Amino acid sequence: MRVAVLEAVCAGLGGESPEPSLLAEGRAMWQAVIDDLLRVPDCTVDTVVNRRWLAVVANRPGLHVWQAEQIEETVACWDSALDDADAALVIAPEFGGALERWVAEAGQRRSLHVLNAEPAAIRLCADKLELARHLQAHDLPTIPTVAETWSAPPTFPCVLKPRDGAGSWLVRRVDGEAEWRRWRRDYAAGNTEPLRQPYVAGRALSVAGWFGDGVVDWLPVGEQRLSKDGGFRYLGGRLPAELSDADAAAVLRLAQSAAATIPGLRGYIGFDILWPAGSSGPPLLVEINPRFTTSYVGYRALIKDNLMERWLARPLPLRFGTGARGSGRGGLSIAADCHVEFDASGSYRMVSRS
């Protein structure tokens, strides 16, 4: 199998000076996916890399790197990579329609197996206001979300976030009217539509699933580490999260219920979930990421099997065991006596539970 992989920021589609966090996370996901694909028997990989980032690319058997400098070159290289590919995977932030556009263009090649969600599903998940309305319409617990019109100061503290954004870009906890007015100017300068939510303290959790062939394979629930400066910058996470079995099951049920309402989810999908502080539940669904997320670097460290190989082959639904041998036929091996802590750049360490 020949797989073409496009990570938008590493390919130079994030502009001359991409957000450092987007570059770090994009590079971590790109390297993890490439490494795992190259460990799949008889799998070769084509990828596009901007010449500025070539230093991070190791020359390995089975990997063909298309070098680009200008956006036009990136587009031409990606088209060439798709010409001979059996499958394509796009890793990109969903804002600005970038992920939807690149996936849709790849999907126009009928002989190509696209490993991403359908464009309509990407579009819904990328639009934070429409997604909130969708969740509310299906009676799924989420944080109340409205368009910020700046007509009158809201109740503080609140959270401002862009309707079309990814990561923590322009996301801010606002504690008072002066700060709120300052952020009004910042949003006006950024020419982006703001949303407002009440601030809800709690634990930031996540869970990911592999979607395809009518089967969803759910990975263990994890915990996110976010900056405490009001900007919610992603710092990494822990897998699995330190939760009771009942609480982990509640988080998983919420993600499963949400996924069931969105046709066209395919590939690796991440769900951001908040467990309100001092509450017995329910957990709140914050966002759905219709793409690879940085938590993949943690999952691949926690799970001894090659997830990319299992996903491409899919001989059986994935089952998660707790012992060194997993759960038997079709099971995956997860270390029983440790957890994984990882950061946004892809570094991780195994921590013994003792």
Least Cα distance to 213 among 291, 280, 266, 145 occurs for 266
CATH label of the domain that carries residue 257: 3.30.470.20
**Residue 168 pLDDT greater than 50, yes or no:** yes
Lowest mean pLDDT among 191-200, 247-256, 334-343: 334-343
Task: Read off the pTM.
Answer: 0.92
Tell whether 139 is covered by a domain.
no
The number of domains in the chain is: 3
**Residue 32 pLDDT greater than 60, yes or no:** yes
Q: Are 181 and 223 in contact (CB under 8 A)?
A: no
| Count of C-beta atoms within a 10 Å radius of residue 144 | 11
* Gap between the terminal Cα atoms of the chain: 42
- Rounded to an integer, the average pLDDT of 187-196 is 89
In this structure, are 219 and 346 located in the same domain? yes
- Rounded to an integer, the average pLDDT of 172-189 is 94
Tell whether 33 is covered by a domain.
yes
In this structure, are 178 and 303 located in the same domain? no
At a CB cut-off of 8 Å and minimum separation 6, what does 281 contact?
A: 247, 250, 275
Q: pLDDT class for 331, splitting at 50, 70, 90?
A: low
The pLDDT assigned to 353 comes to 74
Q: pLDDT class for 285, splitting at 50, 70, 90?
A: very high
Q: Are 237 and 222 in contact (CB under 8 A)?
A: yes
CA 103 – CA 73 distance, rounded (Å) = 18
In this structure, are 181 and 229 located in the same domain? no
Residue where a domain stops, chosen among 198, 221, 241: 198
Residue where a domain stops, chosen among 198, 222, 237: 198
**Residue 204 pLDDT greater than 60, yes or no:** yes
Rg (CA), the chain: 20
In this structure, are 43 and 69 located in the same domain? yes
The parent domain of residue 188 ranges over 144-198
Least Cα distance to 90 among 250, 291, 326 occurs for 291
pLDDT tens track for 234-246:
999 999 999 999 9
In this structure, are 206 and 346 located in the same domain? yes
In this structure, are 168 and 292 located in the same domain? no
Residue where a domain stops, chosen among 67, 101, 116: 116
Tell whether 133 is covered by a domain.
no
In this structure, are 206 and 193 located in the same domain? no
In this structure, are 309 and 342 located in the same domain? yes
**Residue 328 pLDDT greater than 50, yes or no:** no
- Rounded to an integer, the average pLDDT of 83-110 is 93
Tell whether 136 is covered by a domain.
no
CATH label of the domain that carries residue 58: 3.40.50.11770
In this structure, are 48 and 91 located in the same domain? yes
CA 42 – CA 49 distance, rounded (Å) = 23
**Sheet containing 172-174: order of strands:** 146-147, 194-198, 158-162, 172-174
Mean pLDDT of all residues belonging to the chain: 90
Tell whether 84 is covered by a domain.
yes
In this structure, are 156 and 251 located in the same domain? no
CA 227 – CA 232 distance, rounded (Å) = 5
- Rounded to an integer, the average pLDDT of 341-346 is 91
In this structure, are 222 and 325 located in the same domain? yes
In this structure, are 27 and 85 located in the same domain? yes
- Rounded to an integer, the average pLDDT of 254-283 is 94
